């Protein structure tokens, strides 16, 4: 399937020589394909081998739409992306829905559609519509876009008087147990819900040890007492010393809610204000690799895998945004707050903000820049919790000053060159290039280049 | 810091002055079935950005755009966007499934013909071009 999609896109690029969309009767076909190159001065970023320079970043999409009646449109977009260990060019349905527009103020969609998150999440896959290779990390984490891009369910939308518009969705975020979000949640669960995991693990170990003693010929009561003694360390210590997440068996989400209210004030042309909310309940089934407690007469017990279920009450996000367009100049600012709530552990509170500007000098040349500040836990801004785990404090944040140049060859081809001055190690593989025992330098540079074709 | 505020204030002032000046070169035309004789500037913007899709009587709006200088003039005077911004906007709509690219024509003659023959159609031409079998819609 991936091969066919690539063949269609490349075939179109070669044969059409820069022509526009395909129109097969009532069905319009459009597409895009982008190839990037990343190089950093010392670390690997987003699990890409950027220290050596890597082409392991690309995306492609192909969509089909048809206007069935004046009020009803249907369409779907196939999409594949790759960035390091995420995406891996697996073809997914990016969006696919029926759209019934009853009135200017009320439209209805059913199927899979994009999640409104800040001003640019819905269009983050489309390189051709923005100045930058990377949108600000503080709001748009590139490693989570495969899971955070769309949701299945129903959606109401419309335009209201005085320049307001709204978007309200209910449904579910299709779970991706291989994605960055599930990995982050698993890590969160291992470190932050340790007590409850400990209790679960300890109960399983006691049951298994008891069974082992009974099989060895001990009476049940004595076997249970011996097993209890063998596991007589606190749950927290137990898991703290021995657990490792070895696999994510399953991930489920439900009660997904997405809401956006946007305002373009009629009295101030060019200004756009926006607030978006996204929330979902998430459940994870993990496998923990746990060393068994030593049994009398049995040295060096084997490790065992124990299943643990983690329920997060809600993962939620609020983004507040402002954009002002004045002729060829675009200014923007966004603030994001993501919270992970559970009954068993303190809320994780993630914060990010960014601000930037871009200016188009001519048809073919645009220059832009932004600053982005991302902190993965505002209750631990200094990274003290991380230090206790033996990680550098700078893993807690990523501050990014970006300068980007965009060159439009024609309406279909464009390329970009971009530099990032980074401070912080979030999503950075610092272990590879830092000698054991040394604290890694939190300052580093990233260069990105990208070429895109769209029709 | 004060300087930055002054620059921003001047930019806002000029942008709003521009918003109230309608082009002397380009006029809006509609099919005879279009149930309005005039539109506000923000109503024109909402139509050409796909936000308003129906006329007051519930019939479908069919808008079309031209290529070239008249298009650039129309975008500057009516939509308050550059050609690049307008193209990027519609690519966003296209690749998120929210809308198809606007119908576009190479010449004003084709535009006038489309508007005159398509119920609910609205477009624009140079004011020196004859708006045959269409009606001129004033924009305030």
Q: CA B136, CA B127: separation in Å to the nearest integer? A: 10
Segment A348-365 mean pLDDT? 94
Pick the more confident residue, A65 or A310.
A65
Are A309 and A285 in contact by the 8 Å Cβ rule? The answer is yes
**pLDDT attached to residue B106:** 94
Domains, chain A, with CATH or none: 2-174+256-288+311-454 (2.40.160.10)
User: Could you give the percent of chain B with pLDDT greater than 90?
Assistant: 72
Residues found in chain A: 455
pLDDT greater than 80 at residue A98: yes
Model confidence at A235, pLDDT cuts 50, 70, 90, reads very low
In order of A116, A304, A311, A324, A338, the CA distances from A177 in angstroms are 22, 22, 15, 38, 20
Pick the more confident residue, A325 or A11.
A325
Q: How many Cβ atoms from other residues are within 10 Å of residue B76's Cβ?
A: 17
Can you spell out the DSSP letters for A290-321?
EEPPPBTTB-SPPEEEEEEEEEEEEEEEEEEE
Closest chain B residue to A121, measured at CA: B96
Strand order, beta sheet including B26-30 = B38-39, B135-139, B26-30, B121-126, B62-66, B103-105
Query: Six-digit token pair at A400?
Result: 């990014």
**Which of A259-273, A304-318, A428-442 shows the lowest per-residue confidence on average (mean pLDDT)?**
A304-318
Can you spell out the DSSP letters for A328-376?
TEEEEEEEEEEEEE-SSSPPEEEEEEEEEEEEE-SSSEEEEEEEEEEES
- Least Cα distance to A143 among A251, A56, A254 occurs for A56
Are A269 and A214 in contact by the 8 Å Cβ rule? The answer is no
Q: Each residue of A176-198: pLDDT tens digit? A: 666 666 666 666 666 655 555 56
Contact yes or no for A104 and B52 at CB 8 A: yes
In order of A17, A254, A365, the CA distances from A414 in angstroms are 14, 40, 10
Are A272 and A320 in contact by the 8 Å Cβ rule? The answer is no
Q: CA B53, CA B46: separation in Å to the nearest integer? A: 8
pLDDT greater than 50 at residue A240: no
Contact yes or no for A32 and B95 at CB 8 A: yes
**pLDDT attached to residue B11:** 59
Model confidence at A18, pLDDT cuts 50, 70, 90, reads very low
Average pLDDT, chain A: 83
**pLDDT attached to residue A154:** 97
Pick the more confident residue, A298 or A120.
A120
Contact yes or no for B92 and A75 at CB 8 A: no
**pLDDT attached to residue A25:** 64
pLDDT greater than 70 at residue A234: no
* Helix, strand, or coil (residue B83): helix
pLDDT greater than 90 at residue A237: no
Q: Each residue of A365-424: pLDDT tens digit? A: 999 999 999 998 898 899 998 888 788 999 999 999 999 999 999 999 999 999 999 999
Judging contacts by C-beta atoms under 8 Å, the chain B residues touching residue A32 are 95
**pLDDT attached to residue A134:** 95
Shortest CA gap A104–chain B (Å): 6
User: Could you give the percent of chain A with pLDDT greater than 70?
Assistant: 77
pLDDT greater than 80 at residue B120: yes
Chain B touched by A103 (CB under 8 Å): yes
**Which of A57-66, B18-27, B54-63, B120-129 shows the lowest per-residue confidence on average (mean pLDDT)?**
B18-27
Model confidence at A211, pLDDT cuts 50, 70, 90, reads confident
Shortest CA gap B135–chain A (Å): 23
Model confidence at A171, pLDDT cuts 50, 70, 90, reads very high
Q: Each residue of B75-106: pLDDT tens digit? A: 999 999 999 999 999 999 999 999 999 999 99
Q: CA B22, CA A356: separation in Å to the nearest integer? A: 31
Q: What DSSP character marks residue B60?
A: B
Write phi, then psi, for A95 (nearest 5 degrees): -150, 150
User: Could you give the percent of chain B with pLDDT greater than 70?
Assistant: 85
CA dihedral A344, A276, A375, A441 (to 10 degrees): 130
**Which of A60-64, A71-75, A147-151, B46-50 shows the lowest per-residue confidence on average (mean pLDDT)?**
A147-151
Contact yes or no for A408 and B97 at CB 8 A: no
pLDDT greater than 70 at residue A239: no
Domains, chain B, with CATH or none: 22-139 (3.40.190.10)
**pLDDT attached to residue B9:** 65
Model confidence at A442, pLDDT cuts 50, 70, 90, reads very high
| A vs B: CB pairs below 8 A | 91
pLDDT greater than 90 at residue A127: yes
User: Could you give the percent of chain A with pLDDT greater than 90?
Assistant: 49
Judging contacts by C-beta atoms under 8 Å, the chain B residues touching residue A66 are none
Q: CA B96, CA B101: separation in Å to the nearest integer? A: 12
**pLDDT attached to residue A436:** 78
Contact yes or no for B94 and A30 at CB 8 A: yes
> Which of A213-217, A295-299, B94-98: highest mean pLDDT?
B94-98
Pinpoint the alpha helices (H) of chain B: 2-19, 41-48, 69-74, 83-95, 108-117
* Helix, strand, or coil (residue A434): coil
Segment A50-78 mean pLDDT? 93
**Which of A399-403, B9-13, B52-56, B78-82 shows the lowest per-residue confidence on average (mean pLDDT)?**
B9-13
Contact yes or no for A325 and B81 at CB 8 A: yes
Pick the more confident residue, A382 or A24.
A382
Q: How far is CA A90 from the centre of its chain?
A: 16
In order of A27, A199, B25, B102, B107, the CA distances from B128 in angstroms are 37, 82, 8, 24, 14
pLDDT greater than 60 at residue A150: yes
């Amino acid at each position: 399937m991936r091969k066919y999609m690539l063949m269609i896109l490349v075939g179109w690029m070669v044969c059409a020589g820069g022509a526009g969309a395909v129109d097969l009767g009532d069905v319009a076909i459009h597409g895009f394909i982008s190839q990037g190159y990343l190089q950093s001065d010392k670390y690997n970023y987003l699990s890409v081998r950027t220290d050596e320079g890597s082409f392991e970043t690309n995306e492609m999409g192909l969509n089909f739409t048809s206007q069935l009646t004046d009020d009803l449109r249907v369409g779907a977009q196939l999409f594949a992306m790759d960035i390091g260990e995420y995406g891996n060019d697996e073809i997914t349905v990016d969006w696919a829905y029926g759209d019934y527009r009853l009135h200017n103020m009320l439209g209805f969609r059913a199927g899979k559609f994009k999640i409104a998150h800040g001003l640019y999440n819905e269009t983050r896959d489309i390189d051709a519509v923005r100045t930058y290779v990377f949108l600000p990390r503080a709001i748009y984490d590139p490693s989570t876009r495969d899971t955070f891009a769309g949701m299945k369910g129903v959606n109401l939308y419309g335009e209201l008087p005085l320049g307001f518009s709204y978007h309200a969705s209910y449904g579910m975020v299709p779970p991706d147990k291989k994605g960055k979000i599930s990995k982050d949640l698993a890590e969160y669960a291992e470190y932050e819900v340790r007590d409850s995991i400990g209790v679960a693990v300890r109960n399983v170990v006691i049951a298994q040890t008891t069974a082992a003693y009974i099989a060895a010929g001990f009476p049940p009561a004595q076997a249970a007492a011996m097993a209890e003694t063998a596991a007589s360390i606190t749950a927290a210590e137990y898991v703290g010393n021995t657990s490792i997440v070895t696999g994510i068996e399953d991930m489920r989400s439900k009660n997904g809610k997405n809401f956006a209210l946007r305002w373009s004030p009629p009295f101030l042309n060019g200004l756009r204000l926006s607030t978006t909310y996204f929330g979902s309940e998430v459940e994870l089934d993990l496998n923990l690799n746990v060393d068994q407690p030593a049994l009398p007469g049995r040295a060096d017990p084997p490790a065992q895998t124990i299943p643990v279920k983690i329920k997060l009450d809600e993962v939620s996000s609020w983004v507040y945004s402002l954009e002002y367009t004045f002729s060829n100049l675009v200014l923007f600012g966004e603030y994001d707050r993501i919270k992970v709530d559970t009954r068993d552990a303190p809320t994780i509170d993630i914060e990010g903000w960014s601000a930037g500007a871009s200016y188009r000098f001519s048809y073919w040349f645009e220059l832009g820049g932004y600053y982005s500040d991302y902190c993965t836990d505002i209750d631990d801004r200094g990274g003290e919790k991380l230090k206790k785990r033996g990680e550098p404090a700078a893993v807690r944040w990523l501050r990014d000053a970006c300068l980007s140049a965009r060159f439009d060859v024609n309406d279909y081809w464009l390329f970009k060159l971009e530099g990032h001055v980074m401070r912080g190690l979030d999503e950075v593989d610092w272990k590879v290039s830092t000698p054991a025992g040394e604290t890694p330098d939190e300052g580093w540079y990233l260069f990105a280049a990208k070429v895109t074709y769209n029709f | 810091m004060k300087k930055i505020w002054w620059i921003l204030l001047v930019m806002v002032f000029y942008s709003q002055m521009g918003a109230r000046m309608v082009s002397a070169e380009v006029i809006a035309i509609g099919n005879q079935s279009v149930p309005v004789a005039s539109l506000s500037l923000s109503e024109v913007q909402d139509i050409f950005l796909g936000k308003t899709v129906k006329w007051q009587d519930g019939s479908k709006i069919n808008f079309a755009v031209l290529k070239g200088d008249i298009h650039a003039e129309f975008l500057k005077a009516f939509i308050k966007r550059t050609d690049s911004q307008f193209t990027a906007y519609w690519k966003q709509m296209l690749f998120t499934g929210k809308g198809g690219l606007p119908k576009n024509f190479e010449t004003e003659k084709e535009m006038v013909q489309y508007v005159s023959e398509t119920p609910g159609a609205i477009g624009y031409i140079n004011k020196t071009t004859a708006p045959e079998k269409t009606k001129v819609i004033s924009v305030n």
